[in-house]
Structures are given as structure tokens and as C-alpha cells.
Amino acid sequence: MSRHIALIRRDPLTFLTETWRTYGDVVQFPIPKPPSYLISSPEAVRAVLVTEGRNYTKATLQYRALSLVTGEGLLTAEGESWRVQRPLVQPAFHHSSVERMAAHVVSASDSLITRWAALPDGAVVDVDGEMMRMALEVVGHSLFGSDLSGDADRLAKATLAALDVVVARARVPITPPAWLPTPANRQLARAVSTLDEAVAGLIDRHRDRSDEAGHTPDMLNMLLDARDDEGRELSTSQIRDQMVTFIVAGHETVASALSWAWALLAQHPEVADAIAAEANSVFGDREPCAADYVRLPWTKAVFDETLRLYPPAWLITRTSIDGATLAGREIHPNSLHIISPWIVHRHPDAWRNPGEFTPERFLERDAPIRSAFFPFGAGLRLCIGRDFAYVEGVLALARIASRLRLSALPGQQLPRAMPLVTIRPEGGLHLGVGKR
């Protein structure tokens, strides 16, 4: 058991994969409380997330830790609170927001292209760090429009500092209670109070400014204006929780997917060439827009294949209310269900040559069975930012690949996958850059 705990901490992906390979699709861990299962068959995953979804809640360690930062935002909210919030938040993800976001992606990609194209051919760049910065800029501009003043910047930094504590906490089942003044708890408290102040400042300024003529509404305006059929609106603290949730859920996930896409493309330069050719035939020298997304099927297939092999949200957890039968096994009520897209996305019952990078599989007619591919979750709690992420990821890949070549250094292999809040490339991702 102590060997297991050491492996869980050191290398959770290997631990989960070994557990599944040794014991199969539904495995009960040898811990008494709560009864805990690893669920890996596509059908059982579908039952938990979709068909029997109402029998499961997000009352798990993972979401409790996250809610220390995000409060009761959409990602962590439950029951009635979630049911009231989701329709109020949905308009902020309307097509018009996706279109405005696409313009932010193009401008962030173009400024990166300008900087990298000015480097001597073959210079080595920090791709992972740049993808993080780019995704943060895109989500920041989409939320707050041009108001990327000190507050927005402080908000983003404080969110990241708070997340560090949360990751450390989620990895250790027994952590000191939040009121004990340990260094980690103090870091968390400081970060959360910075978050609160920054959001309050942004909300006040947005309320003042939303009446100005010519003001383009951003996602924060949409949340401030949202009313449901019964005239309910989001409270200031609920808006704070959504803002922080969008930064947490919408920034590192996209950055992680983009970094892994570049890592895979550097190992498969012929696929990068195909993306560049597709981009040139679709938008050439003009600026891409959200509508181009549907004209870039090959780039989307590459993004999907990246999400299959390196699903940023590598762990999805649920607690059952009643007992159930999953893949022929009786499951206790009130038990923890651990689902890892990392495993199911490689399940040999669903995927041919699961370990291989084969974007074409997403263009084939006999597409993979639905429940075996769920990088954005599934069922009622499906990611609200899915379209946002697809348009952002596909446009950024297409624009950058059409102008630059990012290449593996001599002898460079794929980095090891390090599962934190999302799956990160261990040691970062450093690639050679050159103009096309």
C-alpha cells in the first residue's frame, strides 16, 4: 500500500494506468472511506456522466479543493445553485462572444508570430510558457474587453498563485484545515483576497461604463446584464465566482492542449505542413475569423487527436448518491468515482492503435464511439466553454503553423506528461523556430 501511495504522488498517470491494466474496467481501491472506484469502460463512463448522471454529485475532494478558489462558480456548483446559474451564464458563451474571442486569438497569435519571426532561424523558444501567456491574454480580453488594467492583471496572477496551493492540497488527502495559518493557507488567503478586490474593482468599473455609447459588451457585461425567465440575476459574489472559474477553467486547459499539439507536430512535421497548407488555402494572407473554423477540418482533427492523447482535464470525479451496477459490478452508495479520460481515450475496445498520433481517425466516417472521447466531459455538466476552446485552439494552430515552423531539437522526444491541474509537459516545451 505504501508503494501505491508513493506512486500515486510521484506518477498518478502510471498508477491509474497500471491499476486499470491489472484489475480491469471497474476497480475498487483498497481504502475503506469513502469506497472509491476507478471507472474505465466507455459504457460505464457514459452511465456515470450521462444516462445516470442524476445519481452523481461533484461532492469530491477535487472539487472541494477547487472551490476554495472558484467559490460556487459553475464548475463547482451543485443542485439548485447550478440549475439557476447555468442559464444565466450561457449567454456569455453566445456566438457573438466566440466571434470577439476569435479576434483576440488572431491578435495574440500575430504578436507571437512577429516576435518569433524576428529571431534568428533555429532559435529555441519556450513554447509552453508562451501558450500559457497567450491563453491568459485571450480569456482576459474576452472577459474584460479592453480593460486589461492593473486589476485584470492582478486577478490573473492571484488566480494562478491560489491554484498552486489547490493542486498541492488535492494531491494529499489529509490537509490542515483552511483556518490554520500554515504557509500554504496564508498564500491561499492572500491570493483569494487579491482576487476579491480585483474582481470588485472590475465589476464597479464595468457597471459605470456599460452605458457609454459605442461600448462593445464583453463577457463580464453579459453576466452583469443576465436575467432569467423569472427575473433572477447573478449576485456580485456569484459574478466573482464565475470570473475566477472562467480564468481557471479556460486558460490552462487551452494552453495545455496547444502545447501538446506543438509537441506532437514537432514529432510529425508532415502533419504541421498539412495544417499550414490548409490554413493558406482557407485564409491565406487575410485575417482569419471564427467562421473559418469549420473550413479547417484537418487542423480540428489534429486538435482532437491531441485532446485524445493529452486530455487537459485528466481526472473527472463524482460521488454517487445511491448504489448502482456498473459493468456488472455492484457499487456502494456514497462512493467516489474516478474517471480518467487519459485511460478511456486509450481503451483498446474503442480505439485502433490507441498509442499512435493519427489525426485522420477523426475524419473517418466510423467516428470513435461517442462515450470513449470526452475531453470536455459529457452530459449535463458538459464544458460550457467547448466551442470557445475549439475555435481558439484551431485558429491559433492554423495561424501560427501557416507562418512558422516549430521543430524538435536533435534527438528530442515527446516530454513526459506531468498531471497537475492539467497535464503539463515536464520541464516545459522548448522547440526550434523558423519562418515558413
For binding to ligand HEM (CB under 6 A), which residues are involved? 74-75, 86, 139, 245-246, 249-250, 253-254, 257, 312-313, 316, 375-377, 381, 383-385, 388-389
**Closest separation in Å from C-beta 285 to ligand HEM:** 28
**Closest separation in Å from C-beta 390 to ligand HEM:** 8
Q: Which is nearer to ligand HEM, 283 or 342 (CB)?
A: 342
First and final C-alpha spacing in the chain: 53
**Closest separation in Å from C-beta 282 to ligand HEM:** 22
Q: Which is nearer to ligand HEM, 331 or 338 (CB)?
A: 338
**Closest separation in Å from C-beta 214 to ligand HEM:** 25
Is there a contact between 105 and 138 (Cβ–Cβ < 8 Å)? yes
Is there a contact between 430 and 414 (Cβ–Cβ < 8 Å)? no
Cell numbers placing 264:
506532437
Cα–Cα nearest to 371, from 339, 394, 393? 339
Q: Which is nearer to ligand HEM, 417 or 433 (CB)?
A: 417
Q: Which is nearer to ligand HEM, 185 or 253 (CB)?
A: 253
**Closest separation in Å from C-beta 246 to ligand HEM:** 4
Q: Length of the chain in residues, anyone? A: 436
**Chain Cα centroid distance, residue 276:** 25
**Closest separation in Å from C-beta 145 to ligand HEM:** 15
Q: How far apart are CA 73 and CA 241, in angstroms?
A: 5
Cell numbers placing 154:
492582478
3-state helix, strand and coil shares in percent for the chain, rounded to the nearest 5 = 60, 10, 30
**Closest separation in Å from C-beta 388 to ligand HEM:** 4
Cis peptide before 34 (omega within 30 of 0): yes
Q: Which is nearer to ligand HEM, 108 or 383 (CB)?
A: 383
Q: Which is nearer to ligand HEM, 135 or 192 (CB)?
A: 135
- Which position's Cβ is nearest ligand HEM? 385
**Closest separation in Å from C-beta 384 to ligand HEM:** 5
**Closest separation in Å from C-beta 89 to ligand HEM:** 7
Q: Which is nearer to ligand HEM, 254 or 326 (CB)?
A: 254
Cα–Cα nearest to 206, from 236, 247, 251, 228? 236
The stretches of 11-94 forming alpha helices (DSSP H) are: 12-23, 42-46, 61-70, 79-89
**Chain Cα centroid distance, residue 165:** 18
**Chain Cα centroid distance, residue 265:** 20
Q: Which is nearer to ligand HEM, 139 or 158 (CB)?
A: 139
Is there a contact between 280 and 336 (Cβ–Cβ < 8 Å)? no
Q: Which is nearer to ligand HEM, 185 or 221 (CB)?
A: 221
Cα–Cα nearest to 97, from 41, 144, 29, 39? 144
Parallel/antiparallel/unpaired status of strands 423-425 and 417-419: antiparallel
